[in-house]
Structure 1
Amino acid sequence: MSAAPKAEPAATAGLRQHLALAALVLGALAIAFSPIFVRLSEIGPTATGFYRAILAVPPLWLWWRFMPALPRVSAAGSGRRLPPLALILVPGLLFAGDLFFWHLSIQYTTVANATLLSNFAPVIVTLGAWLVLREKITAAFLVAMLVAICGALMLVGASFQLGGTNVFGDMMAFATATFYGAYMIAVAKLRGRHGTQELMLWSSLVTGLALLPMVWVMGEGLLPATAGGWLTLFGLAWISHALGQGLIAYALGHLPASFSSLVVLIQPVAAAGFGWLWLGEGLQPLQLAGGAVVLVGILLARRAQMNGGG
């Protein structure tokens, strides 16, 4: 009879959680660049989403093929092999839906509405984490989530308006939150058996292939007009997708999905700051206060997690 695997020392487990938290924050900062890249893109939003995923495949393949595998939650699933159907299809299709509906929402509603409603993903993730991942969700964590979402509402300020002519776009933005929340749950579930590299490689390939026919349906061109246009797409693919989503996928193997989804709310805070720095978009006092409230909500969620919650 084989010996039972040794429990990981507490110090090692603590270090791994700190590294995962650092990866999560850095991943959120990396994806915060994506609105800038999308704004600067010379092609349509769906085509931009296609390149975001497909141009990330070469560096992700190199990472998977030549770099040592990052730790999994369990030892199962090791080795270089073709992944199962669920690994190939589910996260990639969910992320394709996230990108498609996100870009569609921007066309049919205000940026403020699209930003806020798409950031309701923590609600979806928390529900999925409780139902699918069997995470314990405490009252303290729910309060922290409410605080963070209120901060996100303050961040978009008076620009947020429900109803009127934006109903379709608002529905698309909430669909974005649903798809991204489901994507995070799928990644968290699969990270128990698979490394970050193979998960990101195959899901990105599926995302790109799923978005390609939608480019044709939306009537968008595929070729940027200048070299700068190509650089923008490579920046989006390598920084926001391969690096940003890769770090988040790594973190989801070591941190609760519910808590991780709240930390990712750093992304709209950082995006507002980057827009101010590079695009000259002004920041109002209410937006600054909203960013601070989001961070307070994340800190409260971290305390709840350390005390055994979400």
Structure 2
Amino acid sequence: MSGEKVLHKQPELSFALAFALLVMGAIAMGVSPVFVRFSEVGPFSSAFWRVFLSLPVLFAWACFEARRAGRQLTWDMDRAILLTGLFFAGDLIFWHLAIHKTTMANATLMATLAPVWVALFSGTFIGEPVPRRTWLGLALCLMGAALLIGSSYQLAPERIVGDLYGVITSLFFGLYFLAVRVARRNHKSGEVTLLSTIVTTVILFGTAIISGQKMLPDTAQGVASLIALGTFSHAGGQGLLAIALGSLSAAFSSLVIFVEALAAAFFGWAVFGETLSPMQFAGAAMILTGIWVARPKT
């Protein structure tokens, strides 16, 4: 990514608006486990449908965006676009491997390491050094995640491989943030999300077929869940993230994964009746404090 042409430009949105869109995207991504649980297909299959069913919405968005700019939609899949699609496919593949080989709590906790990779690589890979306040905010968020999710963490030899898959998931998701940030320097948000999703769709289709998992749902509820997964969680979640990354740094934006964890905990409570302990509420408060500390100076 360091070889990409870097265009330094003014942020497209104010911090307040970009951050609001980032949080909305996190909530859209955070509800995805609910849709997956009701999808009635295998996990790799649901990952494929997530991206495939988002394509009509993303195509309409990208065309509208191009028309407003007075041009035709371009299909220029440069290296940043290709890497964005590849890294997101890797994120979804290893995430599903992780939740099969370890507990959901273990996999989620490992996945929250993504901002660490972003902070470590941001200066070297994309030329965005990470300020001290972001490191401090990240430390608070990690401690909050340990309280929010870590109380359910289970260390066992038979889960080590699954935990490792969770760490790999976090690496791919971190690289995804960096790639989107670079892609947004030369492309509009709808274009980035559409073109990278096409790359991800091709990879996940092959993965789903090779896995031999069930591809089609049995009921209208399963179909509706997959459509919601594609339109709301992917087109909405990843799309809003791409918009925000046009104005916010990759390091700060990557803290969205902690908001996603908060959203997932909330929807687990609201939809499935999962309880939240005082320690988890304390973890949520620490995460919000960490994001506030890490906010860029305006």
Question: Could you state the TM-score of these two structures normalised by the residue count of structure 2?
Answer: 0.92
Could you tell me how far apart the structure 1 residues matched to 2:131 and 2:18 are?
Answer: 22
CA deviation profile, 1:146-184 (whole Å, cap 9, x unmatched): 110110010014211334210110011111100011011
- Whole-Å separation in 2 of the counterparts to 1:158 and 1:24: 27
Distance 1:283 1:210 in 2: 37
Please say if residues 46 and 211 of structure 1, whose CA atoms lie closer than 8 Å, have aligned partners that are also in contact: yes
Contact 2:106 2:154 in 1 (8 A): yes
**For the residues of structure 1 that align with 2:283 and 2:227, how far apart are their CA atoms?**
31
Q: Which has the larger radius of gyration?
A: 1
- Closer/same/farther in 2, CA of residues 165 and 133 from structure 1, 3 Å limit: same
Deviation at 1:217, TM superposition (A): 2.1
Cα separation, 2, equivalents of 1:256 and 1:113: 28
C-alpha distance in structure 1 between counterparts of 2:282 and 2:68, whole Å: 38
Are 2:182 and 1:184 aligned?
Answer: no
- Determine if the alignment matches structure 1 residue 90 to structure 2 residue 88: no
What is the Cα deviation at residue 218 of structure 1?
1.7
Moved more, 167-176 or 212-221: 212-221
How far apart are residue 288 of structure 1 and its match?
1.1
Match of 1:240 among 233, 248, 256: 233
Inter-partner Cα distance in structure 1 for 2:21 and 2:151: 33
Give the superposition deviation at 1:186: 0.3
- Partner residue of 2:162? 169
Q: Tell me what 1:102 maps to.
A: 95
Could you list the structure 1 runs, at least 4 aligned residues long, displaced by more than 6 angstroms after superposition: none
Residue aligning to 2:19: 21
Following TM superposition, by how much is the alpha carbon of 1:14 offset from its aligned partner in structure 2, in angstroms?
A: 9.2
Q: 1:127 to 1:258 in 2, by over 3 A?
A: same
Q: Please report how far the alpha carbon of residue 20 of structure 1 lies from its aligned counterpart in structure 2 after TM superposition.
A: 1.1
2:153 matches 1:155: no
Distance in 2 (CA, whole Å) between partners of 1:204 and 1:70 is 22
* RMSD over equivalenced CA pairs, Å: 1.9
- Say which is worse superposed, 256-265 or 45-54, in terms of deviation: 256-265
Shift of 1:262: 1.1
Q: Work out whether residues 24 and 264 of structure 1, in 8 Å CA contact, stay in contact via their aligned partners in 2.
A: no
Determine if the alignment matches structure 1 residue 196 to structure 2 residue 189: yes
**Aligned ranges for residues 52-63 of structure 1 at < 5 Å?**
52-63=50-61
Measured against aligned partners, the alpha-carbon deviations of 1:50-91 in whole angstroms (never above 9, x if no partner) come to 0000100011101111345789xxxxxx75322134255211
Matches within 5 A, 1:1-310: 16-67=14-65, 80-302=73-295, 305-306=296-297
Question: Once the two structures are superposed, what CA deviation does each residue of 1:10-30 show, in whole Å capped at 9, x if it has no partner?
Answer: xxx695332211111111111
In structure 2, the residue matched to 1:75 is none
Summarize deviations over 1:202-244 as a string: whole Å, max 9, x none. 1111111101111122220211111110100010111110011
Distance 2:191 2:80 in 1: 9
Instruction: Measure, in 1, the Cα distance between the counterparts of 2:15 and 2:213.
Output: 43
Question: Could you tell me whether the CA contact under 8 Å between 1:119 and 1:265 is conserved in 2?
Answer: yes
Sequence identity percentage: 42
Residue 207 of structure 1: SS of its match in structure 2?
helix
- 1:66 to 1:141, Cα distance in 2 relative to 1, 3 A: closer
Unaligned runs of 5+ in 2: 1-8
Q: TM-score of the superposition, structure 1-length normalised? A: 0.88
For the residues of structure 2 that align with 1:216 and 1:177, how far apart are their CA atoms?
A: 24
> Which amino acid in structure 2 is aligned with residue 22 of structure 1?
A
- The 1-side partners of 2:13 and 2:178 are apart by 24
Give the distance between the partners of 1:162 and 1:110, measured in 2 at CA: 10
Cα distance change, pair 167–69 in 1 and its aligned pair in 2 (3 A)? farther
